[in-house]
């Protein structure tokens, strides 16, 4: 275990001695009356060191929103957002669904360091009252990036490991003796597992939604995201051919139809067609429109293109709507480039050659090429696994274009060495099961908690 971090036992003892119960810190949230989902919510702030290896330096502020159970509380569920870069606001549109899935439990939605109402990488540019709100806009991009590169030491402390120590601190300080569950999605699963790798936590159960691949699995790393997206997209096309209703819409084999459309299509305001098709894979309702879109484009029409583009915008709007909803792009760049890019020397020419033959693609590999941000070296926790896991439920879609199902299966096999891990395959679902397959999510999680 790296000596520059407190051991799990030492950290637990230090936190318990400093006072485990801090529930009195919670006060009615200022915005509790602005949205129905936030009604009755309580807010608190917790201090944490910028560097857990040097706790005497700069202190950050971590924001937590508590959504109390209706009636007596059975315990607590910590909701760990994805991204990296997303805040606890990612869960606000799904509060009632989460309450049905974890009946009788208080919901705790923290904002990771660098996101939401927690301390930010660029405090001025990412403030709620700035021109872009909590998102960067206009000249804020250059001033923010210039500031980060002028103070690279501070930026390099916004690591997964420091965020994992933050999470451990929050769980330990706000425990009340009742059962604790942790739910993480996408990057949130990586963060939760890093926290458990550092040391055990008093957690009764763990729910991992859209599990990230093993950190050392080259086939699935972020620089290869377009290859992952293309593989899933081709599966979708093949399933359409095998489905009589879908095949009736396409009126011919879908892949040749798509290639004919692709050869004739000129990029429009929606971007290249493979990029758009990759985005359609994320939303089941829009993914189902792919044969309609291809027939329409093949006929030289644009009505279906306008329809699916509007559908994607509506889906994105449904996930936001809160001041702290915009993700922190600087944090995305720093963590993704530092920890999840296994080809840092990849050239733009090599990436173009790799992606040119693809039918579906993602913009993410291109964004990794030159982030313009101060990256940090991986620490000794990278590529490791927790020595212990509580009972764990993994929910994963078989058509996930972001965290491939095969990568999840590989990771589950490794995690089973540390505890009981149940993999729930959600047939044909994409990423983020809480959102894209709500019925399956509620059934599986309720059964897991009841058991």
Place of tokens 């274009």: 401
Q: Kind of pairing, strands 59-67 and 105-110?
A: antiparallel
Three-class secondary structure assignment of 93-147: HHHHHHHHHCCCEEEEEECCCCCCCCCCCCCCCCCCCCCCCCCCCCCHHHHHHHH
Between 193 and 372, name the one with better pLDDT: 193
b (16+ CB within 10 A) / e for 176-194: eeeebbbbbbbbbbbbbbb
Residue 269 has pLDDT above 60, yes or no: no
* Contact indicator for 181, 371 with CB cutoff of 8 Å: no
The answer to whether the beta carbons of residues 91 and 130 sit under 8 Å apart is no
> By three-state DSSP, how is residue 390 classified?
coil
> What was the pLDDT predicted at 451?
84
- Rounded Cα–Cα distance for residues 380 and 359 (Å): 38
What mean pLDDT value characterizes the chain?
92
* Pairing mode, strands 180-185 and 105-110: unpaired
- In this model, does residue 21 exceed pLDDT 60? no
More confident residue, 83 or 171: 171
pTM above 0.85, yes or no: yes
| b/e code 371-401 from CB counts within 10 Å (16+ = b) | bebbbbeebebbeebbeebbbbbbbbbbbbb
Helix, strand or coil, per DSSP, at residue 271: strand
3-state SS, one letter per residue, for 158-198 = CCHHHHHHHHHHHHHHECCCCCEEEEEECHHHHHHHHHHHH
Alpha carbons 340 and 216: distance in angstroms, whole number: 9
Token pair in block for residue 186? 């996408």
20: confidence class by pLDDT, cuts 50, 70, 90: very low
Report the CATH superfamily, name and number, of domain 8-219+382-450: Alpha/Beta hydrolase fold, catalytic domain (3.40.50.1820)
Predicted pLDDT at 270: 56
Specify the pLDDT at position 14.
Answer: 36
Please report which helix (H) or strand (E) contains residue 78, including its range: strand 75-80
Give the C-alpha distances (Å, rounded to integers) separating 377 from 115, 124, 414.
21, 27, 24
Neighbours of 351 (CB within 10 A): 17
Q: What is the pLDDT of residue 414?
A: 98
Above 50 in pLDDT, residue 402? yes
pLDDT per position as a tens digit, 272-299: 899 999 999 999 999 999 999 999 999 9
Residue 326 CB coordination number (10 Å): 21
Tell me the average pLDDT across 102-110.
98
Looking at residues 77-87, what average pLDDT do you find? Answer: 96
Q: Are 222 and 336 in contact (CB under 8 A)?
A: yes
Q: Which of 125-129, 352-356, 437-441 has the lowest mean pLDDT?
A: 125-129
Residue 7 pLDDT > 80, yes or no?
no
Give the pairing type, strands 59-67 and 42-49.
Answer: antiparallel
> What stretch of H or E contains 397?
strand 392-397
The CA–CA distances, whole Å, from 362 to 55, 397, 427 equal 39, 18, 23
The least confident of 20-29, 113-122, 162-171, 173-182 is 20-29
Closest CA to 433 of 407, 410, 403: 403
pLDDT at residue 6 is higher than 80: no
CA distance 218 to 340: 10
What whole-number distance in Å separates Cα of residue 226 and Cα of residue 363? 8
pLDDT at position 94: 97
pLDDT per position as a tens digit, 305-345:
999 999 999 999 888 889 999 999 999 999 999 999 999 99
Say which DSSP state 85 is in: T
Contact indicator for 48, 59 with CB cutoff of 8 Å: yes
Query: pLDDT-derived band of residue 408, with 50, 70 and 90 as boundaries?
Result: very high
For residues 116 and 132, give the distance between their C-alpha atoms in angstroms, rounded to a whole number. Answer: 14
Q: Are strands 421-426 and 392-397 parallel, antiparallel or unpaired?
A: parallel
């Amino acid at each position: 275990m790296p000596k520059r971090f407190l051991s799990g036992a030492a950290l637990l003892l230090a936190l318990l001695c400093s006072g485990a119960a801090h529930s009195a810190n919670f006060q009615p949230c200022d915005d509790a009356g602005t949205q129905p989902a936030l009604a009755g919510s309580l807010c608190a702030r917790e201090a944490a060191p910028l560097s857990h290896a040097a706790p005497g330096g700069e202190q950050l502020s971590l924001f937590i929103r508590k959504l109390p159970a209706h009636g007596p509380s059975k315990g607590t569920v910590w909701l760990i957002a994805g991204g990296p870069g997303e805040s606890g606001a990612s869960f606000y549109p799904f509060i009632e669904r989460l309450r049905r899935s974890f009946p009788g439990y208080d919901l705790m939605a923290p904002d990771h360091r660098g996101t939401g109402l927690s301390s930010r990488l660029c405090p001025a540019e990412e403030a709620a009252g700035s021109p872009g709100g909590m998102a960067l806009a206009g000249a804020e991009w250059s001033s923010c990036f210039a500031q980060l590169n002028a103070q690279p030491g501070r930026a390099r402390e916004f690591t997964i490991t420091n965020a994992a120590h933050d999470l451990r601190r929050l769980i330990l300080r706000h425990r009340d003796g009742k059962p604790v569950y942790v739910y993480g999605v996408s990057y949130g699963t990586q963060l939760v597992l890093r926290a458990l790798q550092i040391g055990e936590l008093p957690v009764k159960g763990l729910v991992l939604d859209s599990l990230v691949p093993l950190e050392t699995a080259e086939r699935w790393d972020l620089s290869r995201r377009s290859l992952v997206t293309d593989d899933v997209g081709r599966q979708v096309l093949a399933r359409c051919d095998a489905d009589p209703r879908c095949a009736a819409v396409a009126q011919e084999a879908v892949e040749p139809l798509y290639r004919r459309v692709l050869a004739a299509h000129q990029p429009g305001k929606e971007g290249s067609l493979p990029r758009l098709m990759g985005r359609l894979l994320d939303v089941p309702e829009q993914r189902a429109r792919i044969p309609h879109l291809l027939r329409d484009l093949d006929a030289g029409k644009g009505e279906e293109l306008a329809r699916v583009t509007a559908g994607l915008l509506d889906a994105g709007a449904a996930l936001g709507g809160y001041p702290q909803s915009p993700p922190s792009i600087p944090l995305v760049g720093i963590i993704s480039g530092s920890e999840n890019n296994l080809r840092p020397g990849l050239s733009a020419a090599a990436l173009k050659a790799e992606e040119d033959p693809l039918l579906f693609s993602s913009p993410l590999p291109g964004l990794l090429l030159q982030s313009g941000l101060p990256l940090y070296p991986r620490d000794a926790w990278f590529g490791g696994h927790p020595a212990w896991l509580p009972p764990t439920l993994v929910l994963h879609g078989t058509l996930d274009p972001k965290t491939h199902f095969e990568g999840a299966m590989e990771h589950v096999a490794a995690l089973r060495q540390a505890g009981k891990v149940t993999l729930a395959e959600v047939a044909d679902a994409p990423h983020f099961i809480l959102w894209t397959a709500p019925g399956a999510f509620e059934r599986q999680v309720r059964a897991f908690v009841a058991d």
